[in-house]
Structure 1
């Protein structure tokens, strides 16, 4: 067996040792955690009677009681002893000092369970009354203010809401132009380019977007497929408009060239 296999074994040399499993109140555990490692925290007393269960009592030391002295706790406690039946419980430890090892040690077998309980003396009753009073206090209190308190809270808003409000304010400032004039602006724009998105058309016409869409639906079609997705273009029945304009422009250019040739003579 090599050293690595040996380190993973369980040392059961103390398996026959009996161990108590003790449940302590939180107020004792808090004080013991703050006590020094070499301090005496209390005394355990075991009284045995023939034919009866052993009586176990705990008396906390003055050193323990002086830790957080404003928080007074009972000094004397008793243990309710319960035997462990129909189950096997053990205590295991791991040596973390020196070389790192995975070896586990069984420190003993739990033979009895004990629950620490205080005696119902005046100190205990005062402690419970205080805890009940604290628990009953509302988390929020109503206070009467003598002066007006001005508070400024940050407003969280989504980006699309901000854009909508900005667009709404901008559209509200725009005045509606005559429909015929808007259509002329649109026809002139579509002479230069065949496809436009709505933002560009709003910039060109300077009209409210809702009003502009009403006119666009009459003379244009909306593309929902690539390669011109989400753009507007003229309907087929209005496509002759741009063609007539181009013919007129060609005729004008032709007339200009003829006039220039006449001047050469």
Structure 2
């Protein structure tokens, strides 16, 4: 079958009702296992018009996580019409490979077994019946919404540390940049003299070390180095400066 998915269309001609419920009701329904009961639907006729009342199961109300708040148990279903668009309702049953319980199809489909339950013939909104429980719930919801997300709390523990300033850290970061900006350009001959003396001690130097030795601005020092020096781009002295052959007082080691 490849990526194709089989859909059970046995009930495609059935009419189903799409119900919109409050968020706290849907959370309670999620606690009920497959095939479980969430409540009862009471149907009555008034002037040839059907009236639907949903009664939430008492066991679910006891499992509510709303604290001491008592949730409404009765809800009216208000029809919103079928709408202009054609819509279908689908269901999905976990495959045996997904939940490992052996329930559902043994197909290798990762999405489980899909079924078309029918066409949506009516859209309904589930609204709680007004009463003391409903009014208390709404007052609590409004109160919680007005609570600030950040609150000031008193400290009941002894503070064992002192506040630290970042002044020293700023000095470490800022001073080197400020110092380099204040470096005065010496006469070129004096800079050359310092460079030659340095290269008498060592053959290779990094540019950072030469800046530290001469205390000259980087652009000015690099300009002088290009005249007398050679910048290595290959190992073993990569990114290091050395004197050009005509300025050396030593001979290069010849490979044996």
Structure 2 unaligned spans of 5+: 96-103, 181-185, 233-238, 251-256
Q: Once the 2 structures are TM-superposed, how far is the Cα of residue 190 of structure 1 from its aligned partner? A: 5.0
How far is 1:57 from its partner?
A: 0.6
Once structures 1 and 2 are overlaid, which stretch shifts more, 62-71 or 79-88? 62-71
2:235 aligned residue: none
Does structure 2 conserve the Cα–Cα contact (< 8 Å) formed by 1:223 and 1:232? no
Output the CA distance in 1 between the equivalents of 2:220 and 2:47: 104
| Residue aligned with 2:26, SS | helix
Instruction: Spell out, residue by residue over 1:157-198, the C-alpha distance to the aligned partner (whole angstroms, 9 max, x if none).
Output: xxxx99x649849x89xxxxx999876543434567898543
**Scaled by the length of structure 1, what TM-score is found?**
0.60
Which one has a bigger Cα radius of gyration? Answer: 1
Aligned with 2:231 (options 228, 231, 250) = 228
More helix by share: 1
Contact 2:231 2:242 (C-alpha < 8 Å) held by counterparts: no
Q: How many residues align?
A: 217
Match of 2:91 in 1: 93
Q: 1:175 matched to which residue of 2?
A: none
SS in 2 for 1:87: coil
User: How far off its partner does 1:119 sit?
Assistant: 1.7
Unaligned runs of 5+ in 1: 173-177, 247-265
Task: Check the 8 A contact 2:12/2:117 in 1, yes or no.
Answer: yes
With over 3 angstroms needed to count, the CA separation of the structure-2 counterparts of 1:145 and 1:136, relative to structure 1, is same
Deviation at 1:60, TM superposition (A): 1.8
Say if 1:39 and 1:63, in contact at 8 Å, map to a contact too: no
- The one-character-per-residue Cα deviations of 1:11-33 (angstroms, maximum 9, x if unpaired) are 43322211111111111122222
Structure 1 pair 146–25 and aligned structure 2 pair: CA distance change class (3 A): closer
Q: CA RMSD in A?
A: 4.9
Q: Secondary structure at the match of 1:135?
A: helix
Partner of 1:70: 68
